[in-house]
Structure formats: structure tokens, C-alpha cells
Structure 1
Amino acid sequence: MTTEKAIVTVRLVRSFEHCNFRPVVFRNVELHQTVKEFLAFVRAEILSASGLPPPFKKFEYDTMKIIHQPHGAKTNELIMSLEDDDKLLLKENDTLKAAGVGNETDVAFFRKEDYEKFKANPKTVF
């Protein structure tokens, strides 16, 4: 099996209502690893990342969703689109490549419970 590597930007979303997020860029991401393996890798990396405030390091992220793929249309939403969950939410047993992640893909990493609550009532507070 050939190794395919990519640059993936992960947007750590702490609050949908307050549009509180931080992007973190990961280079040389192996696209043949499972989403579950990538979730564990990202969690470990953000714990030791310099420059990230402690609230972002300690947050309990559990779900990833594709925000943007290269050469695709971008959403007008501040954090991410609330549509197409069936296609864009990453399933843990899929490989990143099978889930649609490629080079220069942006994904959001968030707590699914918070996302469902925001999706039911999508109001932002500034």
C-alpha cells in the first residue's frame, strides 16, 4: 500500500454560540489511517501544543466534520455548515481518504452534543 500524506487543518471548536475556535495545522497526515486513529492523534497533539490556551487543550472533543475541501465552495457560516451531516461527518471506522479527507482539507473537531444543541437553535452571541 502506498503512503499518501496530506496537510490537514483542524479547527478546534469550543463554542458554536460564541464562535470560539482555533485552527491547528497538521502536516504529513497519513490518509490511510482510520478516523479513530486520527482523533486519538489530534487529541494527543493538542495536549502538548504550545500556543494553545488550556481551555482548548482540556476540552472533550469527540466528532469531526469536513468544513472545506480544496477547489470546493466554502460555507458562509462562521464556524461550519450545519448541512450534509450524512456526507461530511467523519465515521470512526472509515479511513481518512474514504471519508473524503485529502490534501489541504479543513475539518472541525467539536463535541457532538454541543453541535446538536446549536443546530437545533443556531444563534450566535457576540
Structure 2
Amino acid sequence: MRQDMAGEAVVTVRLVRSFEHRNFKPVVFHGISLDQTVQDFIQFVRDDITTRPGLPPPFRKYAYGMSDMIHISETNELVMSLDDDEKLILQDGQTLRTAGVASETEVAFFRKEDYGLYKANPKSAW
């Protein structure tokens, strides 16, 4: 894991628009402070994606809500693992560092409601 001297990290965020259709877009963020809270990082991602050049409108305009979640992607699954939620879903009040995020970590960003529906019936539609 690489981290520069200023304590900033590179974090890849998988913007998950649909679990069922495996519709996600990875976005790389540079210079992320691992000492910010999970809530601050979620707000930063929300704010960034609405104006990010090159990001397709369906991802920029997707209705991420107040119950957005961040999940550390520790799997080769196309979108993310459905196991170990207690360990992998970042909790409010934690810093990214405390939650286990380090430089070059991949995380998924998604709506809690979408995840709950998919987890209850994890079938893909092609």
C-alpha cells in the first residue's frame, strides 16, 4: 500500500448504480485524507460526482440519498462481496483510516435500499 508523506491516499470508488445489472463506474480520487470521517467522505464523493468531467450523466445524476454507504471491496466479485457487512461497511463516526481504508483501497458507493433489495435476492439481469 502506497501513501505519500502528507498522509493523503489514492482511493478508487465504485459508483454502483445497479447491483442487479452490474452497472457501476470506478472513479479514482487522489489526495484523500484518511483522517476525515466516513460522512465527510460520502459528502465529498456526492459533491464531486455531480460535476466530474467525463462521468456519464446516469452516474452524475443518480439519486444517491441520505443512506448512502461505503463498502470496502475485498473481492473479485464484479461489483462487490455480499459477505462480512459488519466488517466491510464503513460506519458513521469512523475516520477512513480507522475503518480500514488505506491508499489504493477500492470502495463501493451505493444506496442502502438498493443493496438491501439485491442482498435479499442476489440475481443478475443481463
Equivalent-residue separation in structure 1 for 2:94 and 2:8 (angstroms)? 16
In the other structure, the counterpart of 2:46 is 43
Unmatched 5+ stretches in structure 2:
none
Runs of 4+ in 1 over 6 A off after TM superposition: none
Identical positions, percent: 59
- The normalised TM-score by structure 2 is 0.90
| Contact residue 7 and residue 103 of structure 1 kept, 8 A | yes
CA RMSD of aligned residues (A): 1.3
In the other structure, the counterpart of 1:67 is 73
Matched, 1:106 2:106: yes
Number of residue equivalences: 119
1:8 Cα deviation after fit = 0.1
| Contact residue 3 and residue 32 of structure 1 kept, 8 A | no
Unmatched 5+ stretches in structure 1:
69-74
Larger relative helix fraction: 1
| Contact residue 14 and residue 21 of structure 1 kept, 8 A | yes
SS of the residue corresponding to residue 73 of structure 2 reads strand
